[in-house]
Amino acid sequence: MDHATAQGRLPHLTIRFKPNKLQDTPNSPQRAPTTSNAPPLWRQLQLAATALASIRAGVSGTAAFQSVEAELRPGVQALGFQVLRTLGRAEALRRQLAKRTPPPAADALLCTALALAWDADASPYEPFTLVDQAVEAAKRNPGTRAQASFINACLRRFLRERDELVALTEREPVAQWNHPRWWIERLRHDHPRDWRRILEADNTQAPMTLRVNLKKTDVAAYLGELNAVGLPGRAVGRSGVQLSRARPVLDLPGFTHGACSVQDAAAQLAAPLLLDGLRAATPGAPLRLLDACAAPGGKTAHLIEAAGDAQLDLTSLEIDATRSRRIEETLARIGAEARVLVADASRPGEWWDGRSFDGILLDAPCTASGIVRRHPDVRWLRRESDTDQLAILQAILLASLWPLVRPGGRLLYCTCSVFRKEGVHQIDAFLAHNTDARLLPSPGHLLPQTGSDAHRVPDNDLGDHDGFFYALLEKAPR
């Protein structure tokens, strides 16, 4: 491609794309658009830029992409995820191209185009095509029309001087790693040997991992069903299957009837960690369990599945009424029941009946720093101060729920975080103030894509997984 062609208008534009680059979503994959049935690329770029502007304004990525009309959402989300994974580089390039930050809508569109085009090998479309269609998007949107010439000039200059501009941004850690500077520094402090690998993992696409419902089938049988419909996978953990490629959930055999659920391999450790070795205070009595902070219900469902024939008296808490309904939907799909309460787990006086629990699962609110590859917006939404504020909430929840555990019972504390303040430091502080608690063998910090620690999780190959933290606490018998 010569620069003269790249700078000219292409009235009969042929969209060139790389299909393997556009398959991305947290739970169900999206297919790359085709020239025959896809919406115009300029429209997808408009919507991806609008989502980016919303995220910059504090809206979650889930909500931002959910607002896109259904038929356009797959392609827009795939583009948007790639933008979020390379936003640090795009913003550094924009600073090289423009002395002043343009208005929010124009800046979002400009950064969207730069994020997608800066690396030609990773770009889903030819860079000159992205530039042409980004300018078209600017012209067709009243909110960016006045900046269309400016966007055109910046992007044409980028095509001409790409190598020099990219070289200049290599000096900036945020551009190199595509995370906020404070996030990079925290990882360097918390994981001095692994911080680079964690950041690299964050910028990759997560695999699609399923949890097989062992009350309905087994892993080997379900792998056979997947192979029969052309969806090969491999077994991970006790009841997991990792697909070779992601697919919409409705394509999965038996999904609507609860034969499987989408759940990362690291998250699948929670239920067996709590249940293994746990017995009711009275032989033959139902095992009394609490799943605190339970929405959307994946771990509640897994507790029921992993319990096998054991009777459970299971309470599932969620503070948000809307999210609480998702727990009920999850349970209905797998054909299970639990007591679902809309309540604040940190205020037991408002919902607890006074009877102790054999086991409590506390999947505490956290920064979600371990699941950034599934939710690439998280790194740009979080502030440095959020870690401290969430650590306070985690400590409050631990202190509030620990008295509800019976002597000899257990509490499993977990977060989908790789920050030590939300993991090992939190548990060290708890143990220092609760002499009746002891830490049982636990996975601790699982870093994304590391696989399981053979010593601490002896019988599970987790494969490719998210970052997580687990600490299993047992209360001293009387």
Catalytic residues: 416
Tokens, residue 100 = 């002043």
Q: Please check whether residue 365 is in contact with residue 320, taking contact to mean a CB–CB distance below 8 angstroms.
A: no
Q: Tell me, letter by letter, the H, E, C secondary structure of 53-90.
A: HHHHCCCCHHHHHHCCCCCCHHHHHHHHHHHHHCHHHH
Q: Is the omega angle on the peptide bond into residue 192 within 30 degrees of 0, that is, cis?
A: no
C-beta of residue 452 within 8 angstroms of C-beta of residue 461: yes
- What is the sign, positive or negative, of the torsion defined by CA atoms of 336, 341, 344, 345? negative
Helical (H) or strand (E) element with 474? strand 468-475
- At 209 the three-state DSSP class reads strand
Is the Cβ–Cβ distance between 359 and 189 less than 8 Å? no
Q: Taking a C-beta distance cutoff of 8 angstroms, is the pair 243, 226 a contact?
A: yes
Tokens representing 81?
A: 């995820």
C-alpha dist (Å) from residue 435 to 235, 412, 430, 474: 40, 17, 9, 11
Within 10 angstroms of residue 257's Cβ, the number of other Cβ atoms is: 12
Three-state DSSP state, 312: strand
Residues forming a β-bridge with 340: 316
Distance of CA 371 to the CA centre of its chain: 4
Cα gap 337→127, rounded to integer Å: 52
Which tokens in the block code for residue 458?
A: 């002896």
* 24-41 exposure pattern, b = at least 16 Cβ within 10 A, e = fewer: bbbeebbebbeeeebeeb
Compute the Cα dihedral for 96, 102, 106, 111 and give only its sign.
positive
